[in-house]
Amino acid sequence: MITEAQQHEIVGYLLAKKMSLDVVMELHDHFCTHITELMQKDNITFDEAFASTLVAWKDDLKLHQLGNSRFIPKINKEIAAEKERKVAVHAFIAVAVVLGLLFSATNILSSAQYLVFITVFWGLAIFFPLVFLIIHIKDFLIAWQNKNLKLNAHQKSIIMLAPGYILMQNTILSFESQSRIQQLFYGSFTKIDLATLVTAPLGLLVYMVGLLSMFRFIKDFQPIKPFLHYTKA
């Protein structure tokens, strides 16, 4: 049976590898199972079983360099990349839906109705993440108190909300007239420049990545909250 002190040793080793805490938690469970099986089957000590487990996992724990000077284990890189890919895919889908709604609104709504529509859209872009933040304020405060830890893959992407909203505010959210949004969709570059054509969906995409990362951060944070005590000295 693995003791509390031995579990701390396992977690300490994994954290020293600069892994995010969600990956540490997952590997901790695998390590504990593997070590316990070895101790019972081969009648060996914890230290011997731990050493054998590290050998078995050496390929997954091999360090890989990121774009900067940081190194993280292969398994952490793969898990983080997969989670970020899923967020990006969902963000692209959300952008397509929003742009489709904007396009439909220009052809269906009157000028007055369209102005109400874009105003509501503008309000929701602020209100929705703000309400989510308030609802989950305790979780965000816990995350802030543990800011020295990488909690999960979505942690840093939340900051994209701000620049994404600024880009939207200066492009999509400034389209107060139907004619201007129609120029965007129909490619009338005599009155709307190429920069706006690019920055409008880009701003929406950046915003959606930040928003979805915010949601995913809280969802993935729930299972690791009880695990935080292992990170304390």
Could you tell me if 55 and 154 lie in one domain? no
* Residue 156 identity: K
CA distance 186 to 112: 22
Could you tell me if 85 and 112 lie in one domain? yes
In the chain (233 residues long), the average pLDDT of successive 10-residue segments reads 85 85 88 89 89 88 72 85 94 92 80 81 89 95 86 90 84 58 58 65 91 94 84 67
Domain extent at residue 199? 78-231
Could you tell me if 84 and 166 lie in one domain? yes
Report pLDDT for 136: 95
Could you tell me if 221 and 110 lie in one domain? yes
Cα–Cα distances in angstroms (integers) from residue 2 to residues 25, 51, 87, 226, in the given order: 16, 14, 37, 18
Could you tell me if 47 and 91 lie in one domain? no
Q: Which pair of tokens denotes residue 128?
A: 């929705």
Could you tell me if 32 and 130 lie in one domain? no
Could you tell me if 122 and 196 lie in one domain? yes
Report pLDDT for 172: 64
Residue 38 resides in a domain: yes
Report pLDDT for 174: 57
Q: Which pair of tokens denotes residue 206?
A: 């950046």
